[in-house]
Amino acid sequence: MEQVKIVVLDVDGTLVDTNYLHTEAWARALEEVGRRVPRVEVHRQIGKGADKLISEFVGDEAADKVDRRHSEIYGEMQHYGYPLPGSGELARSLNDRGYGVWLVTSAKPEELDRHLDALGISESISGVVSSGDAAEAKPAPDVFELALKRAGVEAEEAITAGDSVWDIQAAARAGIESVAVLSGGAFSRRELEDAGARGVYRDCAELLETGFPENVRRGTG
């Protein structure tokens, strides 16, 4: 079994408390094109790339407007996106212990810069892969495969933490084992375990307390 060299972290819902803000922004954008969607349905799509999320609810003719209005509405609320418990501390601890810390995110560059400043982890991050860098966004494996390539490691030398089944599925398709946190709010412990998470934790604070990633049981079966 290979030793873990890098830890790949999701951002929205894992490091920063933005999932509910994105849910509200998508719900309002969808209603503006005549598609009123219960917020619970939108919430469970957060973590997918924007194009995949939009296609769950509207056709191509409305996609561009929904995407644009989501960005505008979210932009008005983004300052309410606070760091989640233990998230900055976890990233700094991983870096201090010699792990490469990589972020995979659907956030736009200006959003990510704000998150990094709020978390205080700019100096702890080895690299970032955004959905715009890859051919397909989550739950496709592209962002994880690109992180492996840029880090120069094999899938067996990485582990990831995310908050949605889309994170877990995408990582698995890239051959990367994963753990999950409940701080994104959309999925239950059972759903995340069924998706393939090796462990499910309350938030990054609990991950840090348990000594992640050394504490994770790895391997098949």
Read off the pLDDT of residues 54-92 as tens digits, 9 standing for 90 and up: 999 999 999 999 999 999 999 999 999 999 999 999 999
pLDDT for res 219 = 66
Q: Indicate the pTM of the whole model.
A: 0.94
Average pLDDT score over residue span 196-201 = 97
- Residue whose C-alpha is closest to residue 132's, from 203, 67, 179: 67
Distance, CA of 163 to CA of 13 (rounded, Å): 6
pLDDT for res 146 = 96
Q: Is 155 exposed, middle or buried (0-12, 13-18, 19+ CB in 10 A)?
A: middle
Q: What's the full length of the chain, in residues? A: 221
User: Residue 4 has what DSSP assignment?
Assistant: P
Distance, CA of 30 to CA of 65 (rounded, Å): 9
Contacts of 220 (CB under 8 A, 6+ apart): none
- pLDDT (tens digit per residue) in 141-154: 999 999 999 999 99
Q: Give CA separation, 154 vs 2, 61, 102, 159, 213, in Å.
A: 9, 41, 14, 11, 16
Least confident of 62-66, 116-120, 187-191, 196-200: 116-120
Domains of the chain from N-terminus onward: 6-17+82-209 (3.40.50.1000), 19-80 (1.10.150.240)
Pinpoint the alpha helices (H) of the chain. Answer: 19-32, 39-43, 50-55, 60-77, 87-96, 109-119, 142-151, 165-173, 189-195, 204-209
Is pLDDT of 181 > 60? yes
User: Model confidence at 113, in pLDDT bands (50, 70, 90)?
Assistant: confident
Average pLDDT score over residue span 174-187 = 98
- Residue whose C-alpha is closest to residue 138's, from 188, 109, 174, 102: 174
Distance, CA of 185 to CA of 14 (rounded, Å): 10
Six-digit token string for 41:
């349905």
